[in-house]
Amino acid sequence: MLEARGVSVSYGAAPALWDIDLEVSTGELVCVVGPNGAGKTTLINAIAGLHRVRSGSIRYQGEDITHLPPHRFCDKGIALVPEGRRLFTQMSVLDNLELGSYIGRAKKLRRQSLEHVLTLFPALNAKLHHLAGSLSGGQQQMVAIGRGLMARPGLLLLDEPSLGLSPLVVHTMFEAIRQINQEGTSILLVEQNVSMAMALAERAYVVEEGRIVTHGAASELLRSPAIRRAYLGLDDEPGTSPAAPIVTPASEI
């Protein structure tokens, strides 16, 4: 479905990504993990058309989208939920959601899409006419993901959806991401929360200093001693990590 080959990106003269090969197949949930400043946001933004690709190519459903203007991505079926949510805080939740469905097919399906988002995130029902900026961090992240879903994407690009959220809220957010994927949307997830991202994803790419240093089945990478030491701070054997947190119902966030 998505295929990046040999992608390099620079900020001016400063290279940020080198020779990235990455794939997401139809229906897959794939994560990209790595330390601060590794290039994860640059990578997901390049896939969303927000950075000029210096060399290499990006194809989506067989079509070369490497140099497609950013505003065309939505219509192609690719939606980005950016790091930091980027909501219009002085607009209502409903207006923010509807902004996700302004063009093409998504506009015709707006009512069904809104129902779907409110089923996924019932806490937003009572907040539709509140200013987005008045919501809790978890609720704002729901609006950001909801706005992405309003575009009816085939591929959802999620940049750090756990950023700034408490562990219990993160767990609930990840359950929603799992559900979105199970309903048929392919997902590329960028995360610093390595253990949760890898527990959710089928495959993972590890980025360091602008390069993919390893990739493979997330369950296997999670068992790798190098990954456990570098990213999870664990020297123990797999399977001895602390138990998963208790889930907070989405309605209570």
- Find, among 32, 66, 62, the residue nearest to 49 by Cα: 66
- Smallest gap from residue 7 Cβ to ligand ATP (A): 13
Which residue ranges make up the site for ligand ATP (CB under 6 A)?
11, 14, 16, 34, 36-42, 192
CB of 167 to ligand ATP, least distance (A): 18
Nearest Cα neighbor of 194 from 229, 157, 155 is 229
Nearer to ligand ATP, 35 or 104 (CB): 35
Least Å from the CB of residue 39 to ligand ATP:
4
For the bound state, the minimum distance from the C-beta of residue 132 to ligand ATP, rounded and expressed in Å, comes to 22
Asked if residues 102 and 110 have their Cβ atoms less than 8 Å apart, the reply is: no
Q: What is the C-alpha separation between 166 and 130, in angstroms, rounded?
A: 22
Closer CB to ligand ATP, residue 211 or residue 223? 211
CB nearer ligand ATP, residue 50 or residue 118: 50
Give φ, ψ of 135 to 5 degrees: -85, 160
Structure tokens at 105: 């097919």
User: Which position has the token pair 């123990």?
Assistant: 236
To ligand ATP, the closest distance from the beta carbon of 155 in angstroms equals 19
Sign of torsion over alpha carbons 132, 136, 142, 148 = positive
Q: For residues 120 and 221, which CB has a smaller minimum distance to ligand ATP in the complex?
A: 221
Q: Under a CB-based contact definition with an 8 Å cutoff, are residues 14 and 171 in contact?
A: no
Rounded to the nearest whole angstrom, what is the least distance from the CB of residue 203 to ligand ATP in the complex?
18
Residue closer to ligand ATP (CB basis): 39 or 138? 39
Q: Give least dist CB 209 to ligand ATP, A.
A: 8
Give whichever of 10 and 92 is closer to ligand ATP, judged by the CB atom.
10
**Which C-beta is closer to ligand ATP: that of 40 or that of 85?**
40
Count other C-beta atoms under 10 Å from residue 130's C-beta. 14
Query: What SS3 class is residue 191?
Result: strand
Pairing of β 2-11 and β 55-60:
antiparallel
**φ, ψ for residue 103, nearest 5 deg:** -125, 155
